Amino acid sequence: MSTPAPADPSLEPSPRLEITRLGNTKQCPICGSDVHSDAYHCTSCRSFFCYHCRAQLGAEEAILQCGNQDCGYYGKWVCSVCDPATQKAETPLEYDEPLDGYWPAWLLASIFMGLLAAWYINWSSALIVFAGMYAGLGYLLQSMEVNIFGKIRRVSMERSTEVHSCICCCSPTKKTSLRQRA
């Protein structure tokens, strides 16, 4: 008889962790009025606070919400102090960047040497000096890693992303702010 294959662990829901919340969960941390223990908003003083540490949330502060419906922190607002960001490395951005060479200066030097050859010898030898110096000597210098005619340089830029995960179930969180809610 064959034994049944074990279930894929990635399909099972993550275990729920019981995390102790800070402060008195039945009172508003700002004004002290009675609030529901699962609340993160006080209707008396109209202030928002972190579900975990009970600190007041400002308009400019990032607010994080768990997206896992099986988590005890699902939809609850948590501050970025309780849920610090981690850096996630991504694949680097790579592209080719052309580098200009020194061909204009090399062209002027070749023309000058061709004109000197034309002045002292004749025009046919000037063309040979110009072509030999510009193309021949230029190719030789380019092969010796002197950038005469231009090069292609490979550029690689490292990238990383700031990621927040739920402090209870470690699933990704969504970032929002009070300014978006207004």
Amino acid at 176: T
Instruction: Give the phi and the psi of residue 113 in degrees, each rounded to 5.
Output: -65, -35
| Tens digit of pLDDT at every position of the chain (182 positions) | 444 444 444 444 444 455 677 777 788 888 888 888 878 888 888 888 888 888 888 777 778 888 888 888 888 888 888 888 888 888 998 988 888 888 888 888 888 988 888 888 888 888 888 888 888 888 888 888 888 888 888 989 999 888 888 888 888 888 877 765 54
- CA 172 → CA 16, 60, 108, 161, distances in Å? 15, 21, 61, 13
Residue 181 is predicted with a pLDDT of 55
Identify the CA nearest to 89 among candidates 163, 165, 161: 161
- Structure letter (DSSP) for residue 148: S
Any idea where the domains of the chain sit in the sequence? 41-85+164-181, 92-156
Token code pair at residue 118: 């034309």
Residue 133 is predicted with a pLDDT of 85
